[in-house]
Every structure is written in C-alpha cells, then in structure tokens.
C-alpha cells in the first residue's frame, strides 16, 4: 500500500501500520445556573437586577431564577409578572441566598452575608465610599466570588453599567434641579428654561463625561443656558462635537468658575474623581457661599466622595439639605428615582453575562476567557483581588490573573 493512500486513523511505523487514536472535538459543557434575586431595601435602593422579560430569557435558556416575594414592587412589577415568565417566587430570603448566583443592586449587608451558604457568585455594586472591613472579611470567610458590576468592562472597553446609569443620572439630575427650583419643593419658583422676554436659568456642569453629556442635553432641551467645566480640553472638544452646537466651555480656573457660580441657578457635579475616595473638591465651601440664595447643587459624584466641599452623603429618603442658602441634593444612586427604566438598563447588561456564563460551563472557565468580566472581580473564592480595598483595610490582595493561572 502506498503511504499516501493509507487508511485514516492509522500511522506508519517501522513495524507497519498501527492504529491511531481518533481526536474528537470536545465541546464546552453548559451549566445550569440557579439565580437568586432578593428584595432591595427601599430606603436605600429601588432598582432591581432583573426584570420579568430578563427572567423569561434566562429561563428559556435552561436556567432557574428565584425571586423573593415582593421584589418587583418598587419597579411596578408584581410577583405574577415574574412567575408568568418562569420565575419561582420565594416567600423568604433564606432560600434566595442559597442560590448559585446572587444578583443584588446594593451591596450585601452583614445579615444577608450570614444567609449565604458559601462558595457562591455575587453580583452587586461595590460602593467603595460606604464599604466596610466587616463586610469584606465576612465575604472572605464565606469564600465568595464577588463581582462589582460598576467595574465590568465590555468588549469595546467601556463600562456598560456605569455608562447606562450615567446617562440616566445625567438626565435625572437636571429634572431634580428643576423640581427643587420650583415652588412645589419650596424653591424660589424659577422655571429652568426661559420663555419669551424672560432670561433662561443658568446651569453650570462640572465634567464632560457621559453623565455631563446627558445632563447638558436635558438642560438645553428645557431651554436653559449651559456652561461646562472640565480639566481636559480634549473632553470639552468631544462633548462639543457630541452635542452638535456651540457650548460655553472652560478648563478649570478657580476665578472663572467662581464668577460663573455667582450667577448660576443650578450646578451639576458630574465629574469623575480619580481614585474614588479622598475626593478632590472642585467647588469649595467659600465658592458655595457666593452662590445665589435658592440655587441648587446636584452632586452626582457623591458616590466617589463628592466634587463639592459642602456635599453630604444622603439617601433617597432624605436626599436634600440646605447650606449657605443653597439647596444640596447628593444621593449616590440617582437612577433609583426612575427605578423601572434603570432596572431595564441593568437587565440589558446582566442577561448576556449570565447566558455566556452558563454556556462556558462555569465561572472559572468564563473568567479566563472574559477579561472584561475579570475587571469586576474583587473577591475570588474568598481571596481579595482588589488592591484598593486591600490597602484601605490592611488585607492582603492577589492578582486575579495569577490566581486563575494557578487553577
């Protein structure tokens, strides 16, 4: 027999034809996920991680979704809305926290962590400013893999949750400001947009990112005059191009900013603060003192410590205070004011991640493949992988890439 015509699955050796092992393609083994959605505390958070439509998609792909009774109340969904789409309604939170994957918008509390069975996957916000050592150590003890959804990156190197929530926060911040300028909330009775013969209100926006862009669109749409400040000329040029017409923009000069604050009716703090904690105040208390009585500050950056020195961390139930005659609104989760819209936006991010997680056969394999999801991991099997948290609480942290290579 000619060597070139030997049959398949045989190899030629000194002793003639020998049988050769056939190599079969081994596909990934899909994994069914049991996903738990607990109730959120309405004093702190109204958003929910998944909507009924999202549950329908997950169940249709072979996964199981447990929803705590009443979880959808704050986004105007009933238990029936979830059950009709394949979700299981659970009366108590104990069963929820036994699921393989826990999806929660607000960070877990100590009470909730105690309900975890251990060695599970938790998706939630991290909220570094409010984070405590007790919480981190409790998660470590339970050997939890924890992913901060605000740190997840997509294949385009964007932060999808941050981006969508920033869009909502930008628009909502302007609506909040308009509300507190009106008489309804005890404001001075000024309409944000002017009418014929009346000068429009002046809005000063700090920052030129996504939140600032959408705040600008909303303010201009209502007829206000907008001035934008940022430390980057490139960012100012970019927002100018995105908005599509000439804006009043300036890099940060304290004297120029203070001059504009004197005539401002609204100030929106929408600037990203590097390093999270230890925020740099772009507006000092002395600057706030020169602002008009009854003017409004909405500090979207409060979740990073705030960009206005007089800002205080407030909750949805007590969002406003007055200082030096200026109304301050400083709530970290402004999108919770429009919780249904925000929940749909969150679902749009989480569903593809969960479907991919199931298809890949498990978390470890998926994290090795998905660099963007890896960015969100701050605990892996109870091992801290976030150096910022480690430095803050004096806990040893390890590199997630090195840990995955070892497994």
Percent of the chain with pLDDT over 90: 78
Calculate mean pLDDT across residues 150-161. Answer: 94
Calculate mean pLDDT across residues 221-226. Answer: 94
Q: Quickly tell me which residue has 């105690």 as its tokens.
A: 114
Q: What is the reported pLDDT for 23? A: 45
Q: How far apart are CA 40 and CA 217, in angstroms?
A: 31
Lowest mean pLDDT of 42-46, 270-274, 338-342, name the range. 270-274
Q: What is the reported pLDDT for 18? A: 52
Q: How far apart are CA 97 and CA 356, in angstroms?
A: 22
Helix, strand, coil content of the chain in percent (nearest 5): 40, 20, 40
Confirm if 396 and 390 have CB atoms less than 8 A apart: yes
Cβ neighbour number for residue 393 with a 10 Å cutoff: 16
Q: What is the reported pLDDT for 2? A: 47
Lowest mean pLDDT of 92-96, 153-157, 271-275, name the range. 271-275
Q: What is the reported pLDDT for 275? A: 54
Q: How far apart are CA 222 and CA 265, in angstroms?
A: 14
What is each CA distance from 150 to 25, 41, 126, 161, in whole angstroms? 37, 19, 7, 6
pLDDT digits (tens, 9 = 90+) for 61-82: 999 999 999 999 999 999 999 9
CA nearest 348: which of 30, 47, 39, 29?
47
**Residue 225: which residues within 8 A CB-CB, separation 6 or more?**
200, 201, 202, 203, 248
Supply the CATH classification number for the domain 34-152+338-406: 3.40.50.720
Phi then psi dihedrals of residue 248, to 5 deg:
-85, 115
Q: How far apart are CA 340 and CA 175, in angstroms?
A: 17
Q: What angle do CA 368, 145, 370 make, to 5 degrees?
A: 20
* Cα dihedral across residues 364, 365, 366, 371: positive or negative: positive
Phi then psi dihedrals of residue 36, to 5 deg:
-110, 130
Residue spans per domain, the chain: 34-152+338-406, 163-332
The encoded tokens of residue 352 equal 């593809």
Task: Provide the strand spans (E) within 231-305.
Answer: 248-251, 266-269, 296-299
User: How many residues make up the chain in this entry?
Assistant: 407
Arch. (CATH architecture) of 163-332 = 3-Layer(aba) Sandwich (3.40)
- Judge whether 34-152+338-406 and 163-332 match in fold: yes
More confident position, 261 or 25: 261
Cβ neighbour number for residue 41 with a 10 Å cutoff: 13
Residue 101 has pLDDT above 60, yes or no: yes
């Amino acid at each position: 027999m000619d060597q070139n015509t030997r049959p398949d699955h045989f190899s030629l050796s000194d002793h003639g034809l020998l049988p050769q092992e056939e190599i079969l393609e081994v596909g990934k083994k899909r994994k069914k996920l049991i996903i738990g959605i607990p109730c959120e505390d309405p004093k702190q958070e109204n958003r929910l991680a998944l909507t009924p439509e999202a549950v329908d998609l997950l169940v249709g792909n072979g996964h199981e979704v447990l929803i705590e009774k009443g979880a959808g109340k704050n986004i105007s969904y009933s238990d029936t809305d979830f059950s009709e789409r394949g979700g299981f309604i659970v009366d108590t939170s104990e069963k929820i926290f036994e699921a393989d994957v826990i999806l929660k918008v607000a960070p877990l509390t100590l009470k909730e962590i105690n309900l975890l069975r251990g060695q599970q996957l938790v998706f939630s916000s991290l909220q570094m400013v409010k984070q405590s050592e007790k919480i981190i150590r409790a998660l470590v003890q339970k050997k939890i893999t924890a992913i901060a959804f605000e740190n997840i990156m997509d294949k385009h190197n964007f932060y999808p949750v941050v981006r969508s929530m920033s869009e909502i926060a930008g628009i909502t911040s302007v609506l909040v400001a308009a509300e507190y300028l009106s008489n309804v909330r005890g404001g001075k009775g000024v309409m944000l947009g002017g009418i014929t013969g009346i000068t429009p209100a002046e809005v000063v926006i700090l920052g030129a990112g996504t939140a600032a862009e959408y705040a600008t669109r909303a303010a201009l749409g209502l007829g206000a005059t907008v001035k934008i400040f940022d430390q980057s000329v490139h960012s100012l040029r970019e927002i100018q191009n995105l908005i599509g017409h000439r804006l009043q923009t300036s890099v940060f000069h304290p004297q120029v900013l203070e001059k504009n604050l004197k005539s401002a009716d609204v100030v929106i703090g929408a600037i990203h603060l590097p390093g999270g904690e230890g925020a740099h105040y772009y507006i000092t208390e002395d600057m706030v003192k020169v602002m008009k009585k009854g003017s409004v500050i909405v500090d979207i950056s409060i979740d990073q410590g705030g960009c206005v020195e007089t800002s205080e961390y407030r909750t949805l139930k007590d969002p406003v205070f007055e200082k030096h005659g200026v109304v301050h609104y400083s709530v970290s989760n402004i999108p919770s004011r429009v919780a249904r819209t925000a929940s749909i936006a969150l679902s749009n991010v989480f569903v593809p991640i969960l479907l991919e997680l199931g298809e890949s056969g498990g978390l470890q394999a998926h994290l090795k493949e998905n660099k963007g999801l890896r960015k969100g991991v701050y605990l892996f099997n109870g091992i801290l992988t976030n150096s910022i948290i480690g430095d803050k609480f004096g806990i040893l942290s390890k590199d997630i890439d090195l840990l995955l290579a070892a497994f």
